[in-house]
């Protein structure tokens, strides 16, 4: 409760300073909208359903693109981590490709798929696939060797060793990779939507820009932050903390 009180005070102060700056009219309101203007834009956006639709469209794309990259990333990560040859060849390529912002794929994606959902999904996939693959590979490497030995010692081998021992043993690392992958996918998706202009939160933001409505721009920015925090900060971090505690990775 103490933490909540601190956060409450902090955010009230932040909005207070913002309101004060807006009230002083150092910058005109169309450049620096006041908090009540943004609040109004939020209200209007939800009232005319445009924000609801934007959230729904964005989340749907996110779920499809992210699920795809989790499945593919795990398969790829497993392949790379279980073959010395793939690790030395494909592994290096994956790491170097990760330095490429996924937005760089947009020209190719548009050329290959046209201005369609597929192109957006492709960009999301390229954004998160690599980080999930690399995290999966790292997880297999960092996993304490003792579990595999104990499993073999107790009579596990082949697929059962993988399924009942190696997979659960690397779960904390996998979740960490999924969390990273989510963050990358989220950024990629919003970027892609801003360029594609086909519904979604990214488009709402750009619409605000085109109408010079900075209140709407900031309202959408706040929405993006809140949604991102809800998934990353609440779902993933809780999952990660519980796992680490259970696996004895942190002093519980």
Residues that bind another protein (CB under 8 A): 146-147, 149-157, 160, 164-165, 168-169, 171, 245-248, 252
Smallest separation, CB 174 to another protein (Å): 12
Smallest separation, CB 152 to another protein (Å): 5
Q: Which is nearer to another protein, 7 or 238 (CB)?
A: 238
Smallest separation, CB 159 to another protein (Å): 12
Smallest separation, CB 171 to another protein (Å): 7
Q: Which is nearer to another protein, 119 or 165 (CB)?
A: 165
| Distance in angstroms (rounded) separating the CA atoms of residues 13 and 7 | 10
Q: Which is nearer to another protein, 114 or 248 (CB)?
A: 248
Q: Which is nearer to another protein, 173 or 196 (CB)?
A: 173
Q: Which is nearer to another protein, 125 or 169 (CB)?
A: 169
Smallest separation, CB 156 to another protein (Å): 5
**Which among 189, 252, 226, 218 has a CA at the least distance from the CA of 61?**
189
Q: Which is nearer to another protein, 52 or 163 (CB)?
A: 163
| Distance in angstroms (rounded) separating the CA atoms of residues 72 and 132 | 9
Smallest separation, CB 148 to another protein (Å): 9
């Amino acid at each position: 409760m103490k933490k909540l009180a601190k956060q409450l005070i902090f955010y009230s102060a932040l909005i207070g300073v913002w309101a004060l700056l807006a009230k002083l009219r150092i910058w005109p309101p169309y450049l620096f909208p006041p908090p009540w203007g943004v609040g109004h834009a939020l209200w209007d956006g939800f009232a005319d359903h445009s924000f609801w639709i934007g959230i729904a469209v964005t989340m749907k794309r996110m779920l499809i693109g992210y699920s795809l990259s989790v499945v593919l990333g795990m398969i790829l990560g497993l392949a790379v981590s279980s073959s010395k040859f793939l690790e030395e060849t494909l592994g290096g390529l994956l790491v170097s490709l990760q330095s490429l912002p996924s937005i760089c794929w947009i020209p190719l994606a548009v050329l290959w798929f046209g201005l369609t959902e597929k192109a957006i999904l492709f960009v999301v996939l390229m954004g998160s696939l690599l980080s999930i693959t690399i995290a999966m590979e790292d997880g297999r490497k960092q996993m304490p060797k003792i579990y595999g030995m104990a499993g073999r010692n107790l009579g596990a081998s082949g697929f059962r060793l993988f399924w009942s021992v190696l997979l659960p043993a690397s779960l904390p690392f996998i979740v960490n990779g999924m969390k990273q992958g989510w963050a990358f996918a989220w950024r990629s998706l919003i970027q892609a939507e801003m360029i594609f202009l086909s519904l979604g939160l990214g488009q709402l933001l750009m619409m605000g820009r085109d109408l010079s409505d900075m209140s709407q721009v900031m309202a959408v920015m706040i929405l993006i932050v809140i949604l991102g925090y809800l998934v990353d900060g609440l779902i993933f971090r809780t999952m990660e903390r519980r796992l680490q505690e259970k696996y004895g990775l942190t002093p519980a």
